[in-house]
Structure 1
Amino acid sequence: MPQKVVVIYSGGMDSFTVLHNAIRAGHDVYALSFNYGQRHVKELVCAQNVCQELGIHHKIVDISAINQLIGGSSLTDDIEVPEGHYAADNMKSTVVPNRNMILLSLAVGYAVSLDAQAVYYGAHSGDHFIYPDCRPEFVQKMNDVCQIANYEPVDIISPYLQQTKIEILKDGLAMGLDYGKTWTCYNGREQACGKCGSCQERLEAFTLNNTLDPLPYEQQ
């Protein structure tokens, strides 16, 4: 049944697919993006452009002040972005402490103010090894809390929680989505680096779907 929903939309390929998943389901979508002090805003620019093109509600909220409290991540601090696959322990430096709990809490507050019934976000199984706040037990506990945190219950929905990025991309390609409108690289240079874990996982997903990534890369 169509609902009013909030989609946490970073501008990356996973949340891009989640956004279209919610739209295809017939929901009244309110996209919500956050500037939390990440290394660059290229994803946010992509998010803004996509939402303008689709004509959907979109807010970009600056919460970068939280970096006074949380740090130690190569995504927000002056720490070199690691290279290699997500399965490597060095990728733990990309963890932003408590990020998804913070973003989900804000999104749920926004949902309550809109009388929306659910918040969507793009956790998937490829994130489970490195990111505790993308694991099924986290999503379930957050969903439990968000049923009682306000007078109005809000569902936390991760449609790809048990699927890999390869499967997410397969679904998006079946929807005819243009992933040239997304940005995944942890570095915010003119072209994607092709070396960081995020790029490598993305490139692997395209290779295993027998499709070329439309983004230009410094090297592949």
Structure 2
Amino acid sequence: MDDRKAVVVFSGGQDSTTCLFWALEKFEHVEAVTFQYGQRHIAELECAREICMKLNVHHHELDMTLLNQLAPNALTRDDMEIKEGDNELPSTFVPGRNLLFLSFAAVLAKQINAKHLITGVSETDFSGYPDCRDGFIKSLNVTLNLSMDETFVIHTPLMWRDKSDVWALSDQLGAFDFVKEHTLTCYNGIKASGCGECPACQLRNRGLEQYEELRQGGTIK
């Protein structure tokens, strides 16, 4: 497998776009893969396409709408409320999503002879999703290698970063303004700073405020 090639699991949001810039700095050849799984907002797919076009990154789209049939959730169903549970998983959790996305990304990587897979999951600033944890990623990496008799390496540049640290990384990569203006994180399908009310916007904007305070005060981590 070509150690210079990488595939980024890409949604067009803050995290995956930061990872895309990270990959472009680390590897000679980078491609992105976006999954259609019945998202509420087609704007997410359009945003991913636009960003890849701006960055001249080859973009793949794969149909995973079966997830919507098997795992009803607030990210795909308008009739389900977006809510964070105290003692249960958020209504936005999609069972099996990262398992399937990374598995199909690995199949794609094998076809283009790419050794590296990059995903923007984080155990530091997350919504309690079990498939964003470091243990899951390490376990899946072993499983993918055994299943295809390959030596894939899954990279998680954001695993131990909170949202303020993610903004800091985008700044280090020279992508701060790009990520701020062109990405879509909002559950309500609004680009940039979003609706400001959904959990995704609150997390993103709180991290941005924290980082900008550090930036202005000259105390960046």
Report the TM-score range of the alignment, normalised by the length of the smaller protein: 0.7 to 0.9
Closer/same/farther in 2, CA of residues 131 and 207 from structure 1, 3 Å limit: same
Q: Give the CA deviation at 1:115.
A: 1.0
Residue from 206, 212, 216 that aligns with 1:210: 212
Q: Give the CA deviation at 1:65.
A: 2.8
**Counterpart for residue 188 of structure 2:** 187
**Counterpart for residue 122 of structure 1:** 120
Deviations 1:132-169 (A, max 9, x none): 00001101101111221113221211111111121111
Closer/same/farther in 2, CA of residues 15 and 60 from structure 1, 3 Å limit: same
TM-score by length of 1: 0.87
Contact preservation (8 Å) 2:125, 2:163: no
Moved more, 197-206 or 25-34: 25-34
2:18 equivalent to 1:17: yes
Contact preservation (8 Å) 2:131, 2:137: yes
5 Å matches for 1:30-179? Answer: 30-71=31-72, 73-77=73-77, 78-82=79-83, 88=86, 92-128=90-126, 130-177=128-175, 178-179=178-179
SS at match of 1:124: coil
Structure 1 segments (4+ residues) deviating >4 Å: 86-91
The amino acid of 2:133's aligned partner reads R
Deviations 1:29-88 (A, max 9, x none): 0100011111112222121111111111111222213322222x1111220223xxx685
TM-score by length of 2: 0.86
Deviations 1:3-27 (A, max 9, x none): 1111001000000000000001133
Matched pairs, number: 207
**Counterpart for residue 199 of structure 1:** 201
Q: Give the CA deviation at 1:127.
A: 4.5
The amino acid of 1:199's aligned partner reads C
Distance 2:11 2:138 in 1: 22
- Gap regions ≥5 residues in structure 2: 214-221
Moved more, 4-13 or 165-174: 165-174
- Gap regions ≥5 residues in structure 1: 212-220
Distance 2:202 2:86 in 1: 12
Distance 2:99 2:69 in 1: 17
Q: Give the CA deviation at 1:189.
A: 5.1
Q: Give the CA deviation at 1:192.
A: 2.1
SS at match of 2:135: helix
- Over the aligned positions, Cα root-mean-square deviation in angstroms equals 2.1
Closer/same/farther in 2, CA of residues 43 and 129 from structure 1, 3 Å limit: closer
